[in-house]
Structure formats: structure tokens, C-alpha cells
Amino acid sequence: MADSADPAARRASLHGQWSSRLAFVLAVAGSAVGLGNIWKFPYVAGQNGGGAFVLVYLLCVFGIGLPIMMAEIMLGRRGRRNPISTMALLGREEAGSGRWLWVGVIGMVCGFLILSFYSVISGWTLHYMVLAGRDAFAGADAAALSDMFGALVAAPWTLAGWHTLFMIITTVVVARGVEKGLEQAVRIMVPALVVIMLALLGYAISFGGFAEGLEFLFRPDFDALTASSVLAAMGQAFFSLSVGMGAVMAYGAYLPQEESIIKTSVAVVSADTAIALLAGMIIFPIVFANSLDPAEGPGLVFQTLPLALTKMPGGVFVGTAFFLLLAFAGLTSAISLMEPVVAWLMEARAMRRGAAALLAGGAVWGLGFLTVLSFNVLADFNFLRGTFFDNIDYLTSNIMLPAGGFLITIFAGWFMCTNSSADELDPQAGVVYSLWRVLARYVAPVAVVLVFLNAVGALG
């Protein structure tokens, strides 16, 4: 076999491997499915006018995100170490320069920034889990729910408390190793979340507004599509799929050699997209049935879902379970944001996993206070795109992830020799491999550049 002569092939992972193919699929799915699907997708789609945004989002998911996910997992498995060391190693082997490590460095910084606000929003879901459990939504109308959300984000100590709790849980799980516990959690929680969402969909249909909601979501109105919404759609695709910063690269490092990266990626990307669309199909009917504003912003899910929960039988239970499962989905994503740094601290700085997790978790926790304060004390402190939260969100999703993904796909498509990528991705080097190569070399990088240029107005 060709690979026995190739020094890079069949390298052993520094930290063992996933126990099964399913464990890896679940871990990547757990990373992808999170607040991005249920909290962020509906509100960003709402802010960007619906249908046309969704169409561009889908094109970005399958034309850009999917090939980049394959590239990222492939590089991770090829390098078999944390993203920084992997990019340094493969850079030297395949491109004659260790400077590719900067892709890993920037990715880790990006993961830190994302997790700092991700944890705060996960805290909102924990708070809403408690509210749902206490039947606090009973009889509330849209105005009351809007006040309830406003009261939460106006309370820095409450936000800080939930953020702290979420970061402690994340740190403990990462400290124990990504595999333990995670596999069981994802195996049960994600399907349970989907079941609850299907029940909510049923209620969204029965309360009216469904046709209007679907029309908003799926009928493209290209007049509503601006250059900045195209950028937002691309950023959302990267964010929702967890690609562009090395999270799935870190997971790929633990993937057994015989598993198909292509099949895993297709399955995860499809499931992630289906769940985001499902969330939209639940939220927008509620929005229109109650004459709410689809462009409400980050509070959208929290102000709409309770309206359905109060009306449906068993709403207390369904609501509690929904927000609990959403927090779990957030946890499995948060873990993947932290894993690259922790793997790097362990491999390159010889730290123990526990100490590495504590260091990373502590830093993210501190940074999270910028987001906590963005909604209250510093709400009027605006610069560039708005508050600290607005800026961190914009910088990571719309700039850093696409830029990281661009470099990853350029490296995998142009610098990595065909033997290496074909060997990792699809040893039969069939038509699927050729298709990936076209997407990775031309379609994805050119699309990212065009969207960027378009957004800065260079294309008029």
C-alpha cells in the first residue's frame, strides 16, 4: 500500500481515539447543533429579511461549509494533534512552511471569543429553564414576555451567575476528557431535542401564522438582500457548522483511520441544517400569529417560544425540557470551542488536562463579562458595530471564521499534495473526491473572497 512509504500517513493520535465511529459523529454533531441553530439562526434570518437570506445561507452551507468541514477534519486526522501543532506539522510536510500554524493560533483566539458570549447566552437558556419550570410564563402576553426578557438582560448579576455556572460545567466536562459523558449526552439529548421541537412545530401549526411564517422563511425577496446580509448568511453558515477555527480539526485528530470523513460531514451538515430550519419553522409562525417583529434581535426565541408554551397542554414540562436540552446542546458546542486550546496546552505546553481546562475556562469566564455588561451597564457604550457583544459576534462569525475557513481550504486544496488528501478523504479517489477538490480549490475560496469584497463595497 502506498501509505506505508508515506511518513505522514497513519500517525498515531497523541490522546487516543474515539471509541467508535458513532462517538465521533455524535461529537461533531454535538458541536454543530447548538444555540447557533435555535437561538441565532432565527434571529439573524429575521433581521435579514427571511427567504433570500435563507437561500444564501443554504448555498453557503453546502457550497462552502461542507467542503471546509471535510478539509478541517481531514487535516486534523492527518496531523493527529491540536490545531496549532497540526498546521505547523502539515505546513512543513506539505507546503514547506511551519507558518501555517497561524491558522491554528487565530482559530483558538476565535474560539475563545465565541465561547465568551456563547456561555452568557447559554446562561439565558438556564434561566428560562427555571422560569418554565416555575410556570412563570402562565398567562403572559407578548408585552409581558418582552418585559421578562428585558428584566433578565438588565440584571448583570443574574447574567454573571448563570454564565459562571455554565463555564464551571463546561470546564469540568473538558477537564474530564471530551469522550467521557459527552457521547451519552449527545446520543440522548439531540434526538430528544428534535422530538420536542417537532411537538412545538405541531403547536406552531395549530396556532395560526404558519403559512405566513413559512412564506417569510422560504420565499426569497431579493430586494431585502443586501451585501451585509449575504455576509451575515455566510458567517451564520460557518458558525452553525462549527467550521473555520479548528474545533472539528481537534476532533478529527481522534478519529480512527478507517472512518469516512465524507459520510460523517454530509450527515452532520444535513442534520444541522434541518434543525436550524425546524427552529425557524417554529419561531416565525409564532412571530406572525402574534404580530411581533421578526427583526427583534437576540431575544427573539426567548420572547416567542413561551407564547406557544403557555397555550399548549403540558407546557410547563415541555418548556422546562426544551430549555434544558437547549442548554445541553450549548454545552456540547462549548466543549468543542474549548478543546483546541486545551489540547494545545497539553501537547505543546505539557500541562495536565485539568489544569489546561481550568486556565482556558478561567480566561473565557473573565472575557464573558464584556458580554454580560453589553446588555446593561455598557449597553450605551457603542463603537464600530454596536456593543461589545455585537462586535465580538460580528468579528468572529463574519470575519474570523470565514477567513480561517478560507486558509484551511486553500491549504487543503492547493498546498496539500493530492496523494495525501485523497488518502485521508477517500482512498478510492472516486468522483466524490474530485467534487470535493473542485469545491475546496475553487468554489469555496472564491465565494468567500467575493462575499468579503461585496460586503466592503468593492463590487459596487
Q: Is residue 36 close enough to count as binding ligand TRP by CB under 6 A?
A: yes
Task: Choose the stretch contacting ligand TRP; rule: CB under 6 A; options: 119-127, 187-195, 237-245, 373-381.
Answer: 237-245
| Least Å from the CB of residue 276 to ligand TRP | 8
| Cβ neighbours, 10 Å, residue 231 | 22
Which cell numbers in the block locate residue 441?
480549490
Task: Choose the stretch contacting ligand TRP; rule: CB under 6 A; options: 34-42, 224-232, 346-354, 421-429.
Answer: 34-42
- DSSP letters spanning 349-411: H---HHHHHHHHHHHHHHHHHHHHHHTTTTTT--BTTBSHHHHHHIIIIIIIHHHHHHHHHHI
Which cell numbers in the block locate residue 370?
464584556
Q: Is-contact 83 73, C-beta < 8 A?
A: no
Q: Out of 333, 387, 409, 421, which residue is the one contacting ligand TRP (CB under 6 A)?
A: 333
Which is nearer to ligand TRP, 316 or 338 (by Cβ)? 338
Looking only at residues 266 through 325 of this chain, which bind ligand TRP when binding is defined by CB under 6 A?
Answer: none
| Cβ neighbours, 10 Å, residue 218 | 15
Which is nearer to ligand TRP, 114 or 126 (by Cβ)? 114
| Least Å from the CB of residue 31 to ligand TRP | 5
Q: Out of 242, 303, 371, 420, which residue is the one contacting ligand TRP (CB under 6 A)?
A: 242
Amino acid at site 91: G
Q: Out of 70, 126, 278, 337, which residue is the one contacting ligand TRP (CB under 6 A)?
A: 337
DSSP state of 220: -
| Least Å from the CB of residue 120 to ligand TRP | 13
Q: Is residue 245 close enough to count as binding ligand TRP by CB under 6 A?
A: yes
Q: Which helix (H) or strand (E) is 211 found in, with range?
A: helix 210-218
Q: Is residue 125 close enough to count as binding ligand TRP by CB under 6 A?
A: no
Looking only at residues 85 through 114 of this chain, which bind ligand TRP when binding is defined by CB under 6 A?
Answer: 114
Which is nearer to ligand TRP, 191 or 314 (by Cβ)? 191
DSSP state of 207: T
Q: Out of 247, 253, 255, 364, which residue is the one contacting ligand TRP (CB under 6 A)?
A: 247
Which is nearer to ligand TRP, 232 or 292 (by Cβ)? 232
Which is nearer to ligand TRP, 38 or 225 (by Cβ)? 38
Residues 191, 195, 201: CA angle, nearest 5 degrees: 140
Which is nearer to ligand TRP, 117 or 433 (by Cβ)? 117
Which is nearer to ligand TRP, 86 or 336 (by Cβ)? 336
**Dist CA 294 CA 75 (whole Å):** 39
> How many whole angstroms from its chain centre is CA 30?
9
Q: Is residue 239 close enough to count as binding ligand TRP by CB under 6 A?
A: yes
Which cell numbers in the block locate residue 52?
433570500
33, 111, 23: which is closest to 333 by C-alpha?
Answer: 33
Which is nearer to ligand TRP, 49 or 246 (by Cβ)? 246
Residues 246, 90, 443: CA angle, nearest 5 degrees: 60
| Cβ neighbours, 10 Å, residue 377 | 12
Q: Is residue 410 close enough to count as binding ligand TRP by CB under 6 A?
A: no
Q: Is residue 82 close enough to count as binding ligand TRP by CB under 6 A?
A: no
Site residues, ligand TRP (CB under 6 A): 31-32, 34-37, 114, 239-240, 242, 245, 247, 333, 336-337, 401
